[in-house]
A and B are shown apart, each in its own frame.
Chain A
């Protein structure tokens, strides 16, 4: 039962999701916040029964403090508002840091599933309320459903309350500012082409247009949204199960062999294999989560926007786990002054953000190191290298395609000594370790070549867009159907019956 919280599991896809969708659709729209909240709590309770009360407590306390802050706003009591805001943020941060430290020092089971995600939602909710971005007083059920909504609670994406809220308003005209990249997303392309009341202004690299969100009733479930969400779920499943999980076996093999014994080419293959595993695992998962959200009538949340097509590390991280990056930008970097207070302050702010990002991913030293390395590369890109990078794309591409996979190695290996050994194998100039089988690269290369090829092809933005754009073509429907059942095959044999299918 606890496997329900895994979106790519049989119990979730064949039991929880269909039942929930049926109840959700049959419920009148205005009660759907409540249904979503109740369903999400059940979902969470199935996976993490010990901490469901903690989640409920945090929801109630955060809502109480937020609504009191709202009341004080009406009373114009600025000091008390400020106090309430900081108290709420400190409470949330304290809980998060405490659980992370307990997880590190006592047992990893003490970090409740998804806490890093739902607490970040709570902090952003408080901040939006405090700064006035959220203008109307949010209702309790809407807030609680936003905090706990099941597709996002375990691994994100970290949706903003405005995204949750926006979908509950009807036919609102709004100005949308998009980067050209995002505007090419099929969802927007369709709007751009179908919406007659559209007015477009183009700025530098961005498109600003005014659009009327059609059919954005209160959690309006539409056949279009349903089908679109389903397609994203299937694509995400394929990425996660057929690509990431398969290619992930390579990394397990390296762990099994022991880093000190692998050949240098195999070490590089491993670095790229792990990078792809992480990418398709997380992108796939985000697509499933966003797809479920789409089925429920929410907007599609873009969490991964073809990061490996980026021209610099800074851009890479605007496209990789974008909801986390923008969270740090909006709630840490900009409040610290962003890049407006001079070079030194900018560098300091960037390093703070990346140090915190490292800590957010995990408390061990390698994550801190990972964050610092990225911070340094981004600072280098912003200052000393910016001149070169404007002239040629080579350094930026090199950063994304060579340095980023190396940083993932730092991310992957929590033990610093093993990390040193791995880098000793990547760069075999220091006499670390000894190749036991010089042909290991060829052996594993042969096995994993199809997965690397598929992974590389899917890195090309046009391929993904082609799939999404043509998802209703009969051949694509057939392909997606095959991908779905093929994924189910692996889910059934690899995990739902783990007892029966050890394959060592």
Chain B
């Protein structure tokens, strides 16, 4: 018998290693792999070991450095009154947090657990210095108050000395802010109208039936401030960090943005693994270093942080968990980069063919997720921008001749994204313009002319 078995060394080797892996999986089941599900009808238990290896979870021993999620445990760095609660219930005090109201857990419809943190909404005012938290003022009035005071606030802003230097276009040349019967409070886009998806704060949603005629023209803050989206040139991005997945990587590679901005990107980035894996930091000088999000946000301060992930998460249920996690990541970036404008980039849609042939990569799901993302903007230092009009048809599908795989733009099409970013920038003060002033003569900052085709 033993002699017979000697004839089959490979078979024995595979059986032995297979049993060993199964033992590892069983042993790790209670403490390492408890979150992994296996359908034993179609796959053996040992697959969890491989999934663990993929995620950096080893059957024994501590996870190695750099693989510990950093975002779930934001250190209590200050005793300031601005609180952002993480979904796990940790009360993490975030200095200068200006996240919207529902981030503090006051709205929890459909979202499952309410973390119960006492939310105080810090609403910025026009004359506030970006670095000064003391200037924030708690309001509890919500939309109504904001609307009532909007005109005053605008007045106040234009009257403010520092800002007035940067009111680039004379009042009369500004397009009239589009006044709707009910002003939209969020940052919504015709391609992606905000819808009630559960945990979203209603105050950031467009009223039903709102037509966004000039939606890319400006962004309303809940206080009533209206920021025109300005055209800027590339120097605007010199102190910007772009964080994102393969699509952002494509923007770096082919969007004529090398040397223009700093990128932290790599394929497979998702909002869930953003703080556990290492990505490529493409510096403006052309060097590329492997770096974690934490390191990238620690090594330097940025004036703008653009974040764009979402396509890798489409298979992960559900919009609520995506939204909550995104919220925590934004809070983390806020804490790490207190002076930066955070741009939440709406997820780029997919082509019609992809959307129809897939049950996950659908534009309807992307629209749903974008609507949720849009509510994360506070219109003051966190903005939601959506580049989809620059690559999509009227139905919100990415033009078929702009994409090969339905998900990524052709290299030659990334310039549209770049242009969109140049045409839709927030310039609040001179400091926002980048290290090298983009425009010598502020009067000449052109109006927004978003080429949407």
- Interface residues, chain A, with chain B CB atoms under 8 Å away: 1, 3-4, 10-11, 14-15, 223-224, 226-227, 230-231, 234, 252, 255-258, 260-262, 434, 436-437, 471-472, 474, 477-478, 480-481, 484-485, 488-489, 492-493, 496-504
Contact = CB atoms under 8 A, between A and B. Distances in A.
Contacts of B42: 1, 3-4, 10-11, 15, 496
B7 A504 contact: no
Contact of A256 (B21, B311, B312, B408): B408
Given A437-B253, A498-B315, A502-B315, A10 B410 contact: no
Contacts of B439: none
Contacts, number: 128
Contacts of A234: 10, 14
Nearest to B247: A504
B404 interface: yes
Given A258-B412, A498-B315, A499-B360, A15 B43 contact: yes
A223 B4 CA distance: 8
27 contacts: A1-B42, A3-B42, A4-B42, A15-B42, A226-B8, A226-B11, A230-B10, A234-B10, A256-B405, A261-B254, A261-B411, A434-B412, A436-B412, A437-B411, A474-B9, A477-B9, A481-B10, A481-B17, A488-B47, A492-B54, A493-B50, A496-B42, A500-B51, A500-B316, A502-B314, A504-B268, A504-B408
B54 A493 contact: yes
A481 B50 contact: no
A234 B254 CA distance: 40
A255 B54 CA distance: 27
A480 B10 contact: yes
B246 interface: yes
Contacts of B9: 227, 472, 474, 477
Nearest to A503: B268
Contact of A504 (B17, B44, B245, B253): B245
Most buried by A among B43, B54, B247: B43
B118 to A, nearest CB: 35
A399 to B, nearest CB: 30
B353 interface: no
B299 interface: no
Contacts of A489: 50, 53-54
A4 B42 CA distance: 8
B434 interface: no
Contacts of B315: 498-500, 502
A257 B410 contact: yes
B407 interface: yes
B30 interface: no
A496 B43 contact: yes
A478 B411 contact: no
B404 A10 contact: no
B414 to A, nearest CB: 9
Nearest to B51: A492
Contact of A252 (B43, B250, B360, B405): B405
Given A10-B42, A503-B312, 17 more contacts: A1-B41, A14-B43, A226-B11, A230-B14, A255-B404, A255-B405, A257-B410, A258-B412, A258-B413, A434-B412, A471-B10, A492-B54, A498-B315, A503-B267, A504-B268, A504-B312, A504-B408
Interface in B212-268: 245-247, 250, 253-254, 267-268
Contacts of B413: 258
Given A10-B42, A489-B54, A257 B254 contact: yes
Nearest to A485: B17
Contacts of A223: 4, 7-8
Q: How large is the interface on B (under 10, 10 to 19, 20 to 34, 35 or more residues)?
A: 35 or more
A499 B365 CA distance: 15
B10 A10 contact: no
A11 B43 CA distance: 6
Given A255-B404, A257-B254, A436-B254, A478 B311 contact: no
A419 B316 CA distance: 36
B13 interface: yes
Contacts of A226: 8, 11
A47 B303 CA distance: 53
Contacts of B412: 258, 260-261, 434, 436
A332 to B, nearest CB: 35
A227 B254 contact: no
A226 B7 CA distance: 10
B404 A257 contact: yes
In this complex, the member of B10, B42, B405 whose beta carbon has the largest number of chain A beta carbons within 10 angstroms is B10
Contacts of A493: 50-51, 54
Nearest to A418: B404
A339 to B, nearest CB: 43
Given A15-B42, A261-B412, A493-B50, A504 B267 contact: yes
B345 to A, nearest CB: 15
B316 A10 contact: no
Contacts of B254: 257, 261, 436-437
A4 B44 CA distance: 14
A11 B254 CA distance: 40
A492 B253 CA distance: 30
A436 B415 CA distance: 11
Nearest to B315: A499
Contacts of A484: 14
Interface in B406-445: 407-408, 410-413
A227 B405 contact: no
Contacts of B50: 488-489, 492-493
Contacts of B253: 437
B44 to A, nearest CB: 5
A255 B311 CA distance: 18
Contacts of A498: 315
Given A437-B254, A496-B43, A256 B10 contact: no
Contacts of B407: 504
A411 B50 CA distance: 35
Given A10-B43, A252-B405, A489-B50, A502 B14 contact: no
A501 B8 contact: no
A225 to B, nearest CB: 10
A14 B21 CA distance: 13
B228 to A, nearest CB: 32
B419 to A, nearest CB: 15
A504 B410 contact: no
Nearest to A492: B50
A498 B42 CA distance: 14
A234 B9 CA distance: 13
A469 to B, nearest CB: 14
Nearest to B48: A492
A309 B135 CA distance: 77
A261 B267 CA distance: 20
Nearest to B254: A436
Q: Most chain-B CB neighbours within 10 Å: which of A234, A252, A477, A500?
A: A500
B69 to A, nearest CB: 16
